[in-house]
A and B are shown apart, each in its own frame.
Chain A
Amino acid sequence: SAVISQKPSRDICQRGTSLTIQCQVDSQVTMMFWYRQQPGQSLTLIATANQGSEATYESGFVIDKFPISRPNLTFSTLTVSNMSPEDSSIYLCSVDRLTDTQYFGPGTRLTVL
């Protein structure tokens, strides 16, 4: 597995502001992913963060709303921009270490007022 940390663990934000979530891994990984889990729902992939290239976004998610950085093989950030209450979710990063197996960070619980 991998030791994955996320910051912040939770935050309460005002509508129209932006929040940047950090994901740090204890060793180099090729693939890092960002998921959203809305209240009572399962996980939905937002994008794949590739080191040295642009992130790949899933249908329904756009770079202007969820810009992602991946400056090296152990770190990534996800920004939730111009937030609305509908963005209230848990945001999770995950890493792929072996054979499509993904391990998740502890998550960031975001509440937008």
Chain B
Amino acid sequence: QKEVEQNSGPLSVPEGAIASLNCTYSDRGSQSFFWYRQYSGKSPELIMSIYSNGDKEDGRFTAQLNKASQYVSLLIRDSQPSDSATYLCAVTLLNYGGSQGNLIFGKGTKLSVKP
């Protein structure tokens, strides 16, 4: 069973702090890794994609990938109340038996940024 695991939270951080969101995946053949943000009642919005080991920065967001540990994380610097949402980790798997390009989603971590 292909799995993507996330701590469901809620993760609560004060405004201005760094929020750290973590995700592990079970299939070593995973190729592409994504973080989506989903506000309550809204559809997922792509924040970051990462394909190779190391860090990738985009504004206040940094994605980190460690394929040896099968671990991907998202750091949000200078957290704002508007960052309060559920963050979904998603992975595409090599040789997955279903459809081409199938994203496997974790259950999401709910982040709350307190003013």
Residues on A lying within 8 angstroms of B by beta carbon are 1, 31, 33, 41-45, 47-48, 56, 58-59, 90, 92, 96, 99-107
Contacts and interface: CB of A to CB of B under 8 A. Distances in A.
A75 B44 CA distance: 20
Given A45-B98, A100-B101, A105 B43 contact: yes
Interface of B: 31-32, 34, 36, 42-46, 49, 51, 88, 92, 98-103, 105-108
A35 to B, nearest CB: 8
A104 to B, nearest CB: 4
A56 B49 contact: no
Nearest to B98: A58
Nearest to A108: B43
Contacts of B105: 42-44
A48 B101 contact: yes
A44 B52 CA distance: 25
Decide if the interface of chain B is mainly helix, strand, loop or mixed.
loop
Contacts of A59: 98
B107 A42 contact: yes
B107 A41 contact: yes
A76 to B, nearest CB: 14
A31 to B, nearest CB: 6
B45 A104 contact: yes
A102 B103 contact: yes
Contacts of A45: 98-99, 102-103
A107 B42 CA distance: 8
A59 B49 CA distance: 26
B46 A42 contact: no
A45 to B, nearest CB: 6
Contacts of A106: 42-43
A104 B107 contact: no
Contacts of A48: 99-102
Given A42-B108, A99-B32, A104 B102 contact: no
B46 A103 contact: yes
